[in-house]
Amino acid sequence: MRAKGEKVGILKIRSFRPFPKEKILEVSGHVKDFIVLEKAFCYGSGGIVQEELKGAFYGHKHHPTISGFVLGLGGRDIPPSTLKRIYDLSKGKVLQNQFVDLRSDVVAPKDMPFTLQTK
């Protein structure tokens, strides 16, 4: 995507507790948008990293948009095409707790508190 002129990068959080708030603020001063990819979620709350990241910017002068996606549940692989689709979906939007490639035939949409994204 960088070869095509897109300004993208990766911030990899290696330790969740203590949450590296200061380091994230330090390295993301110029970042306009975050897309949080999570392989776990807290039922009733959503993506845990997304919520912590939003909290890190709370009250800070720099406040990027933060979108969250839950994918790869059950150890499923995440192909590059899925990452590209997520990037395209989130352009210019703030999306919260979007499930990606979830098999709706296994999980009934009426039972899920979040929006489902399928292939």
Distance separating alpha carbons of residues 4 and 45, to the nearest angstrom:
36
Q: What is the pTM of this model?
A: 0.82
The confidence band for 74, taking pLDDT boundaries of 50, 70 and 90, is confident
| CA–CA dist 41, 100 (Å, integer) | 13
Domain housing 69: 21-117
In a domain, 77, yes or no: yes
Residue 13 within a domain: no
Give residue 115's pLDDT.
54
Strand-by-strand arrangement of the 65-70 sheet: 33-38, 65-70, 98-100, 116-117
Of 101, 38, 100, 26, give the one whose Cα is nearest residue 66: 38
For the cut 90, the answer to whether the pLDDT of residue 3 exceeds it is yes
Q: How confident is the model at residue 112 (pLDDT cuts 50, 70, 90)?
A: low
**What sign does the dihedral 89-111-46-63 (CA atoms) show?**
positive
Establish if 25 belongs to a structural domain.
Answer: yes
Assign residue 83 the CATH number of its domain: 3.40.50.920
As for how many domains the chain has, the answer is 1
On whether residue 52 sits in a domain, the answer given is yes
Mention every residue, 6+ apart, whose C-beta is less than 8 A from residue 113. 43, 44
CB 67 within 8 A of CB 90: yes
Percent over 70 (pLDDT), the chain: 86
Domain presence at residue 2: no
pLDDT in tens, 22-68: 999 999 988 999 999 998 888 777 789 999 999 999 999 889 999 99
Q: Quote the CA–CA distance of 18 and 43 in Å, as a whole number.
A: 22
8 within domain boundaries: no
* Residue 80: φ, ψ to 5°: -55, -35
10: in domain? no
